[in-house]
Amino acid sequence: MAALRWGRGAAELSRALRSSGRPCTTAKEGILDGLWGPRMNSSASPCEQERRKDWGRVELLEVLEARVRQLQAESVSEVTVKRVEMARDPADSGRAGGTPPPVKAQLKISGGWARRLDQDQQVLQKRQKLLQEKLQVEGHFPSPKFRPKVKAKAKGKAKPMATARPPAKPAATSTTTAASMTMASPMAMAKPVATSTAAPKAKLVATFTAAPEAKLVATSTAAPKAKLAATSTAAPKAEAKPVATAKATAKAKPAAMSIAAPKTKPTATSTAAPNAQAKPTATSTSTATAKDKPVATSTAAPKAKHAAMAKLPLTEPQLVSKQQASKKHRRKEPVKELVQGSWEKWEPWVASLELSSSSRTRAPLKLNLEQQAQQQRLQVFLECCLASGQVALAHHMLVSHLARPHKQWLLTQAMYNTVMLGWAHKGSYKELVSVLTMMKYTGFTLDLLSYASILQCMGRVDQDVTAIQRCLEQMAQDGLQLDQLFLEETLSNEERALLLRAVLKAKPDFRPPQPSPQVNTSTLLSEVYAKDGPVSYPRLHLPLETLQAMFQQQLNMELASNVQVESVEKVLSPTQETLEARKTLETLRTTWEAKLHDQLQAAKARLAQITRQGRLTLYPFLCAVPEDELVQILIQLLFSLPAQGEPFVHVVHRLAMQTFQRHIVQQRRRRGQLQVLEQRYTQYLQLLASDTQVADPCLPRQHWETLGPPEPPPPQLWPLMELLPLGKLLVEILVQSVQLPPSLVPPQSSSQPVPVLYHVYTFRGIRQIGLLRPHPAFIQLLEDAAEPTLIFEATDMPMLCPPLPWTSSQAGGFLLSPTKLMRSVEGSLQHQHLLESCPPAELHGALDALTQLGNCAWRVNGRVLELVLEVFHNKGCARLGVPPPTSEAPRPPLDHLPPNAPPDRKAQLRQEVARCLKTAREMHGLRQEALYRLSLAQHLRHRVFWLPHNMDFRGRTYPCPPHFNHLGSDLARALLEFAQGRPLGPHGLDWLKIHLVNLTGLKKREPLHTRLAFANTMMDDILDSADWPMTGRKWWMEAEEPWQTLACCMEVARAVRSPDPAAYVSHLPVHQDGSCNGLQHYAALGRDSVGAASVNLMPSDEPQDVYSGVAAQVEVFRTQDAQQGLKVAQVLEGFISRKVVKQTVMTMVYGVTVYGGRLQIEKRLRELSDFPQVFVWEASHYLVHLVFKSLQEMFSGTRTIQHWLTQSARLIAQAGSAVEWVTPLGVPIVQPYHHESKLVIRGGLQSITWNSSVDASQKPNLLKQKNGFPPNFIHSLDSCHMMLTALHCYRKGLTFVSVHDCFWTHACDIPIMNQVCREQFVRLHSQPILEDLSAFLMRRFCSAESTRPRTDNTQTAKLLDMLRSVPQKGDFDLEQVKGSTYFFS
């Protein structure tokens, strides 16, 4: 800023940040020493504290403003303020050693924002200059040597001051000190002199000169049509005796002008001229030193009032009232700008001087939610300005808020650091220093990031060594360690290099510290991270060169942001009509793209104009992504809208999220992270490639961390209050830009273009929602064109190279696109906050497990894909899971009812039409899902790909690509197989056969040898299904999982026909599924022997079927009730089966209620064709109670634990907190169930109401917290079991993936995986899980240092009693699990 161009090099930063309370005595004194000065020192004397209260309230600026007002009121036509250069002390030309500092390299800033920035600098320069003068007058510290040249004029009239105007136009001459215009201080060490003479129509010329060892003399003279000159000279260390003289001439009553100096004994002399026509004089002299008593002399002309003395020193109450009156006055009649053409008015700057602080560090403000949201908006705005290269705009917005007292509270330390970092990136040293000065003014202290920005800038502009040394010395004085800078995770590699460059200049022997490796201390993971013992980590089957080429393909795909995939519904031989439609679409696309460009530019220009006024807008967010990419995002959205439309709010959110993701990619590209990523990833591949070796085999995360410092985390997701308006603006631009020519819209009666998109309202239940719906003519054009490609986002595609290893909660997965470690509903930040506050080492188990799951290479099963496509093109088959096209949907009746049709008939017809429309929508959705999956499978058919994983808030893992993964339906799983095969070995073929029988669902309750024998007897049908799947006996179609059964039949056929089945390389995943895994965890927690036997935790010759056991127990209860004559029990005779109760038993462990269980049983009963439907409701209500009663008897320990968890969660939620816990692997978990909050965005096409139940600021939802805790806790345990199994299998060299409690590996490795699975289950439940949970909850919600909301002691006592009453355990021996064959089978 121009206001801070006081010197060069170290002297400039020294003056900007030097203490405002005492001069630096030596050139070597720390440049940041005493940053805030004595006025921020809480241990100051009472006199000093009194002066601090007055600091900034009666400034010389206000005096000048009052003078301007007076002159305007007296018809003064023009006021000119001129600042001339001062003499520069040769002794100070070089702050250190007397030699001139070197000239720094500067980055020139141009454009509109630069001009406004210069204007901001001029205003701040005036303000800083006047503050220095005031403080110098009061004897604080020497004035720096300004060299500004500013000329400002203000024209116009203003209302007169509070003093009455004389009846005539007098010619008055008055002389007063600068101190008399401000607060007279008893601590003053200098005696300034000021002379002022006022007259109408005078031009004021003020000249300020500052030089050391000189007197302060201020002279102001005004005469009719004459110039008034004022000269001010500051003497920092001299005790001069200034003289104050005031002369006035007027035809009015005399006015006594006196200056009150507290704690002094003034002497006043007043002389009145006897003739009013003469020119009487008034003289006032004030003298105050540390040793002498002050003397005040006042001489006043009779019948004269001097308006220039309206701003005399006031007591505290008077001062406040005067300022409030002045603010009101200014609101009614704004003061003209002092800087011509400046965007900032004078009034905010005067008001901004009213800030004061009594401590060195500004205390944090307690803000409500709305104020926190405003701070978040401003912070994101500044960050987005930096990301889009608009640093001057960010600085402009910072100055604008600092200039307005009602907005200053929004500013935080992080905002100043953000703008400083922007100037550091540009090498703009002076602008960075100006931000430091603003930080000093607002009371913030420098932190590590502040010093990082300073040193980065010094390294970029090659700053002199003296300045760097002073900066490092001051940093040490502030208690900050230099080593901490290089361990800061938010710094990029380039920023670290600049830091090191600057530091090495001052400390050539300095070496940056290397981060010490974090070690996980969990007993469950001790073997995983043990350095000793056998290790055989698996490697990929691909060489390094191939993997590098695949990396380039993935990188290009993410840079392009989307991928064109050939649709499996494409027209093989397009007709002439199809070609014409495609040509028309291409022409329209070109026209629409041009219009979108114009609309985006117009929107930016409009928003930029508003932003210049200091208001937060969407301007930087629009600039964050190039226009070409925004246009392509909008066009892609247009072509992907369904014919029935899409909810407006969903479209808005989708557009905003796509824009944010593109912003992240662009930012990483601008930071130069692509080259660093490519070099580091090439080294990382040496751990995975088949033709390379590493010296020390280790886990992928560990190897990645040894290759360099971590990259800075991506920016936080833009808040919803910015995302939704941004998406809304883009949608509105799209609606306004795309139009169809009238020739394409029947009946072609209009000559005006027709909008392509319409905004309509419809009802979903009782809610009215807005839809964005395409015009039917546009839909018809798309159908005629039969576009051969589908467009997918890069993040919706499987990866073409191994994913990045997870190293933190924000780093891992895709190469460039942001990926969450813990997926959550948009707007939920509590999970991310928990992960960031968690020590990194505690997350290593989860991070390494997710990395291992993502490193599994996949390929498409080509033979199965061909058959699925055949069925898909032949109108599908619902029984096989291939949805038919919408042309097969039922049609509503076409009968037209007569006007006199009965109401029942009309209602029946409406219901039939609604049913048909609902079915058509469902069929369309299922068909599109199958189209996406099959098109992606065809696209990846001859490629190897990977599926990066993350987890939900409970710790359960999921693949990130949504359309094509192994967590889908039977069809989706059948299309996938391992890219890397393994020989079957001696027992692999048997496991393939057992897996085949398991998929059919025919022998689930039979032992393994029986299943194997059944497979051998069905070998003819198996081979027939493999050879003639569509024309043979079709045995595979009768299976529960038909497509996976078919894939397994084909694998078995190839294996048995190979010369050596043991040497056959199999790629088919073989599954081992848990036996009601939720109940298994409950039985292990409670050591429940009866429950453990029911869910196969105990060894047995045959598998125990818990569902059949519950059905048998329900039948016992039903028989007893039927014998007593209960009608519904008699009707249910013969209908209670395993299938009827299975879903309820399965979901009971996950918190299903009686109501939900009744609906499940009702659905099963309606599927029974011979059951009397009139009894469905009564029978389902009766059966659900019998099921719960049976489970209570069979799993008494389970129900006790469930009750304890439920009641604990209820008490925690009643106390106002959400339930939290930490999994045995160290993953922090919080239940995101809160009362619904609403965010409303008004205006535009429609008002948007965003409902969120994850807002942590709202009260917890008691019902959801209570009912959700038991199932979520069990889910977190089964996730831990899966992760432990994955990590130990990886250590043994196995390929392992999972679908929650269903574990997959190669057929030859099933015995090893089964052993690991059982060992880790026993090891997990050997931990005191419930006891640890109780201790954590008591520490988190009942201890004195807890951060939860305060509640009464009675509530806390109840919670404490509940948490201490941990359920007692039974006598089941966990070691028996290791011998249980059917624990997972």
Catalytic residue among 1088, 1278, 1301, 1309, which? 1301
CA pair distance 348, 123, nearest whole angstrom: 11
Spatial CA neighbour of 127 closest among 320, 350, 284: 350
Spatial CA neighbour of 566 closest among 833, 875, 935, 823: 935
Please state whether 24 falls in left (phi above 0), alpha (psi between -120 and 50) or beta: beta
User: In this structure, are residues 731 and 655 in contact, taking their beta carbons and an 8 Å threshold?
Assistant: yes
State the residue for tokens 């604990």.
1208
Report the run of H or E that residue 982 belongs to, with start and end.
strand 982-983
Catalytic residue among 322, 1073, 1121, 1378, which? 1073
CA pair distance 1319, 1093, nearest whole angstrom: 18
User: In this structure, are residues 247 and 172 in contact, taking their beta carbons and an 8 Å threshold?
Assistant: yes
Question: What are the tokens at 791?
Answer: 């467009």
On the CB side of 822, how many CA atoms lie within 13 Å of its CA? 22
CA pair distance 378, 511, nearest whole angstrom: 37
Contacts 24+ apart (CB under 8 A), 372-377: 373/719, 373/721, 374/410, 375/410, 375/412, 376/719, 376/721, 377/616, 377/719, 377/721, 377/722
Q: Indicate the SS3 state at residue 232.
A: strand
Q: How far is CA 1116 from the centre of its chain?
A: 56
Dihedral angle over CA of 963, 968, 969, 975, nearest 10: 70
User: In this structure, are residues 1228 and 832 in contact, taking their beta carbons and an 8 Å threshold?
Assistant: no
User: In this structure, are residues 654 and 734 in contact, taking their beta carbons and an 8 Å threshold?
Assistant: no
User: In this structure, are residues 1385 and 1012 in contact, taking their beta carbons and an 8 Å threshold?
Assistant: no
Task: Give the pairing type, strands 1220-1222 and 1228-1230.
Answer: antiparallel
1142 is catalytic: yes
Catalytic residue among 134, 430, 505, 1142, which? 1142
CA pair distance 290, 798, nearest whole angstrom: 80
H helix intervals, 1247-1328: 1262-1291, 1310-1325
Q: State how far the alpha carbon of 357 is from the alpha carbons of 53, 136, 143, in Å.
A: 8, 19, 21
H helix intervals, 567-707: 576-611, 619-623, 627-640, 648-670, 673-688, 700-706
Q: At what angle do helices 1154-1166 and 1138-1148 cross, to 10 degrees?
A: 160
Distance linking the first and last C-alpha atoms of the chain: 73
> What is 1149-1204 written as a DSSP string?
TTT--HHHHHHHHHHHHHT-TTS-GGGHHHHHHHHHHHHHHHHHHH-HHHHHHHHH
1301 is catalytic: yes
On the CB side of 1307, how many CA atoms lie within 13 Å of its CA? 28
Q: Nearest 5°: phi and psi at 758?
A: -125, 145
Per-residue burial over 491-523, b if 16 or more Cβ lie within 10 Å, else e, is: bbbebbebbbbbbebbeeeeeeeeeeeeebebe
1021 is catalytic: no
Q: Indicate the SS3 state at residue 1306.
A: coil
Q: Nearest 5°: phi and psi at 609?
A: -65, -40
CA pair distance 1213, 22, nearest whole angstrom: 55
In which order are the strands placed within the sheet that holds 976-978? 945-946, 857-860, 976-978
User: In this structure, are residues 4 and 434 in contact, taking their beta carbons and an 8 Å threshold?
Assistant: yes
Give the active site residues. 1073, 1142, 1301
